[in-house]
Copies of this chain bind each other. A is one copy, B any other.
Amino acid sequence: MKILDGLGITAVKKVSAAGINCGIKPSGKKDMALIYSEVPFKVAAAFTDNSIVAAPVTYSKKLLRDHDEFQALLINSGNANACTGDKGYNDAVEMSEFTSKKLGLDSSTLIASTGLIGETLPMEKVRQGIESVADNLRPNGGSDAAEAIMTTDAFIKEIAVELKISDTVVRIGAMAKGAGMIAPRLVSHATMIAAVATDADISSGALSKALSEGIKTSFNRSSVDGDTSTNDSVFLLANSSAKNPKIESGEDLQLFLNAVTFIMTELTKMIIKDGEGATKLISYNIKGAKNDDEAALIGMSLVNSLLVKTMFFGADPNWGRIIAAAGASAPGIELKNTSVYFKDQLVAKDGLGIEFDQEKVGAILSSPEIELTLEVGQGKGVATCYGCDLNHEYVRINAEYTT
């Protein structure tokens, strides 16, 4: 597998994209993205498990139940079309139908939205936007699309890789957005939105498996703020144009699955690194839990602990907060079996603080990417979860992000 530097979703054969401003965002920043494939996509998708879901989620789910093939995915930012009632649902349907019509497609267009909750879309602007974004589709428009789905994101998130299936080169390109209301629990499980496209030929079953295995150890093991969105959507799109021997099972599937998991994990890290206000990406390695699911549960309790998050902002090796948060999340953890490392520096062993190199630990805690390892000595379960620090900038953004 090779990373294709500087490329994103349009690294994939026969996939073009565009991103424009249509006026949903008064700032004039890009707010509408379109992904288009010349040939039909098979699609596997996962959405938020919040019981309040936005209209575009409800409608895309319906489309996926009713149809097997798609050629287009339209995403707007600046307005989530959530908590907007029947009007919102009708707007979602119109977004989709207007796009298919503009593109001259027989198939329906998948949709996603992100932004403010509780306001209806300015549909006149949306219709004009769809005209414009469709006219702007380009084979190298991936970065524009990735930019157009940003809300409070500070940087665009895209990645592409290529791998060989038998002797055929297959590409996977992807884009995603964060940066708040990020605690994805995608069902199959943020408003994170991600689109991962591939030109691989792959069976529907294998595509679904790649999606569910991919999200399990990436998006679903990450959180910026513990708030699960009404709009989280991940689409895995495969248009078969690489003409590889069809991926169905065995080693080929494993290769593809590893690549998808790698891409989703990298997108997850980008989202967390760009979490609202975040100055640090922390990878929490939990080892020795009863099983992997419990390891993930412990990891997520550290990711979401305000005391742990502010500790990392303060660059303070206050490991007691880590053990306390772990104990609050999982029954049966025994203090005498717990150990805490910052990167390679052991700071607490068998539940007791030990002498450590203050300078080395201080340097680790001041770096932008930090690895924490917590051993709980109960079994063989392991998980890595991804979180960020909590700081003044987070408070500023969210006290000022307003209706």
Contact = CB atoms under 8 A, between A and B. Distances in A.
Interface of A: 50-53, 80, 82-85, 116-119, 180-181, 183, 185, 225-230, 304-307, 310-311, 313-314, 316-321, 323-328, 330-336, 338, 348, 350-353, 390-392, 394-396, 398-403
B348 A83 contact: yes
Q: Tell me if A's interface is mostly helix, strand, loop or mixed.
A: loop
Contact of A84 (B119, B328, B352, B392): B352
Nearest to A119: B353
Count the copies: 2
A336 B336 CA distance: 50
Nearest to A82: B320
Ranked nearest first, the 5 interchain pairs of A and B with the lowest CB-CB distance are A117-B320, A52-B327, A314-B399, A310-B398, A118-B320
B226 A324 contact: no
Contacts of A119: 353
B319 A118 contact: yes
Contact of A316 (B304, B306, B326, B403): B403
A335 B305 contact: no
A117 B316 CA distance: 13
Given A83-B351, A336-B85, A395-B392, A318 B230 contact: no
B52 A323 contact: yes
Contacts of A400: 314
Contacts of A318: 117-118, 401-403
A142 to B, nearest CB: 30
